[in-house]
Amino acid sequence: MKYYAAPLEGITGYIYRNAHHKFYPGVDKYFTPFLSPKIKRGMNTKEQKDIAPVNNQGIPLVPQILTNQPDGFLQVAQILGELGYREINFNLGCPSGTVVSKGRGCGFLKDHDALRRFFEEIMDGLDKRGMQSMKISVKTRLGINDPDEILTLMEIFNDYPFSELIIHARLLKDYYKGPVKLEAFREAAAICRHPLCYNGDLFTPEDMKEFRKEFPDIGMVMMGRGLIADPQLCELCQTSDGEAALRDYDRMFLFLQEISDRYAEAFSGEKHVLFKLKELWSYMHVLFPDQPKVWKKIKKANSLMEYHRAIQTINPGGQTPDGV
């Protein structure tokens, strides 16, 4: 089984990825949060920093592009190729209102003719630029409103030489909520001509076991919120077949310290660092369901010192010192 770390805009930037790769090195591929090509400028400074090879040394990284403009795609693809990237992922899954209203991300799934034209133009453009060897993978949802849409979409995806197809088994209208639609994913898998990767709601090693039982032929999974909540998730999934995997809290605290230190170096001002750490903990607090006071203290922290004090009250696998 191959394990991919999903992109989460605002969370899985290069600082997070470096720390994760250093402390939990089993992930097969990381994907950048989407790069949104700008006319003439290509990428903005934040995006350039996020994909700069110097900031991603040794990390198996796939940059992701979100656009509906072939020219913008090709311009950024060229830059990425020159930087040494050999795969680019194309985003057809983003459900955000501002993205969808511009016919991008999941909004692009509405217009099948335009989607075909876009694929024709980027494949043609890559050829003309001598970039035939650049792999293009796609990350999509099942459709907009109806899970059957994926069957028509698969006809389109099957017509182009994508290196992988990643399906988040939800519709645009589901956003990130409600049960994943496994039967629609199964139907897509049955007709898919590309290596297929599953994405959606894999939160625990037990979820992973269940998925493998249901889909023994699927060789790749992508984990998003589950991996943010539990940075060891991929490792626990990889070892849960054999020797009992041990949860390693010491490593988790070192990982968190590393992230905090690197954010403090990168951002001027404690508030920004604190905001990023709280965002991370809005996922990670589920690891300590019997210690709700810790998460409350983290949320209330007004300084990094208060944040670190709150973290120190965590008693892994047990009660907090103040008896909660």
Ligand X SMILES: Cc1cc2nc3c(=O)[nH]c(=O)nc-3n(C[C@H](O)[C@H](O)[C@H](O)COP(=O)(O)O)c2cc1C
User: Which chain residues interact with ligand X by CB under 6 A?
Assistant: 6-10, 33-34, 64, 91, 93-94, 139, 168, 176, 199-202, 223-226
- The smaller minimum CB distance to ligand X, of residues 227 and 274, is found at 227
- The smaller minimum CB distance to ligand X, of residues 97 and 323, is found at 97
Q: How many CA atoms lie within 13 A of 6 on its CB side?
A: 27
Smallest distance from ligand X to CB 243, Å: 26
Residue whose C-beta lies closest to ligand X: 224
- The smaller minimum CB distance to ligand X, of residues 34 and 307, is found at 34
- The smaller minimum CB distance to ligand X, of residues 229 and 256, is found at 229
- The smaller minimum CB distance to ligand X, of residues 141 and 297, is found at 141
Smallest distance from ligand X to CB 315, Å: 28
Smallest distance from ligand X to CB 143, Å: 15
- The smaller minimum CB distance to ligand X, of residues 202 and 314, is found at 202
Q: Are 139 and 31 in contact (CB under 8 A)?
A: yes
Q: How far apart are the first and last CA of the chain?
A: 39
Q: b/e per residue, 154-179, with b = 16+ CB within 10 A? A: beebeebebbbbbbbbbbbebeeeee
Smallest distance from ligand X to CB 96, Å: 9
- The smaller minimum CB distance to ligand X, of residues 7 and 147, is found at 7
Q: How far is residue 58's CA from residue 160's CA, in Å, rounded to a whole number?
A: 30
Token duo for residue 99: 């993205």
Q: Are 221 and 208 in contact (CB under 8 A)?
A: yes
The CA-atom distances, in angstroms, between 322 and each of 11, 294, 310, 311 are 31, 10, 11, 13
**What angle (nearest 5°) sits at the alpha carbon of residue 290, between those of residues 284 and 291?**
65
- The smaller minimum CB distance to ligand X, of residues 30 and 119, is found at 30
Token duo for residue 290: 């019997």
Token duo for residue 120: 């024709």
* Cβ-Cβ contacts under 8 Å for 55 (sequence gap 6 or more): 14, 18, 49
Name the amino acid, one letter, at 310. Answer: A
Smallest distance from ligand X to CB 240, Å: 17
Provide the 8-state DSSP code for 202.
Answer: -
Smallest distance from ligand X to CB 72, Å: 16
Smallest distance from ligand X to CB 323, Å: 33
Q: How many CA atoms lie within 13 A of 237 on its CB side?
A: 29
Smallest distance from ligand X to CB 30, Å: 11
